[in-house]
Amino acid sequence: MKEKRNKLDELKPFVVQLIELQEKAIIIYKPKVENLIQNKVTDDNTIQQLLDGMLDFCSHTNMLFLYKKLCRYYWEINSEANANYINYYRKMWDNDKPIDNEN
């Protein structure tokens, strides 16, 4: 039991770093998504670059919210490509419960 606890304690710094990285990603991506939607950007490459970057952080509840918001916006622009991004999310994260770091 003690050995198991020691191994968990060894992982703690990595978990803390991961959470910090997720929170920094949200700070970076949130204004980009909001500006893109506000300015009614329709360029596929611009939208897809954001979705590509955001996908890695969708285990965090707030990033998942942003990802879904951008997908809803993108649906009217390119529903076929958007469906692919929904499927990318499902393949990568759908079996996992999003992490909510606010509790």
pLDDT in tens, 6-61: 777 888 888 889 899 999 999 999 999 999 999 999 999 999 999 999 999 999 99
State residue 96's pLDDT score.
53
Rounded to whole angstroms, what are the CA distances from 40 to 16, 34, 36, 43?
36, 10, 6, 9
Whether residue 47 contacts residue 74, with contact meaning beta carbons closer than 8 Å, is answered with: yes
Number of folded domains in the chain?
1
Confirm whether 74 is domain-assigned. yes
Indicate the DSSP class of residue 97. P
C-alpha 49, offset from chain centre:
13
Q: Answer yes or no: is 98 within a domain.
A: no
Q: What is the pLDDT of residue 97?
A: 57
Flag whether 20 is in a domain: yes
Cβ atoms < 10 Å from Cβ of 12: 9
Query: Is residue 101, in this structure, part of any structural domain at all?
Result: no
**pLDDT at 103 exceeding the cut of 50:** no
Domain of 9 in residue numbering reads as 2-93
Q: What is the mean pLDDT of residues 50-75?
A: 96
The pLDDT of residue 84 is above 90: yes
Q: Tokens 């879904």 belong to which residue?
A: 68
> Angle at CA 93, nearest 5°, toward 100 and 81?
120
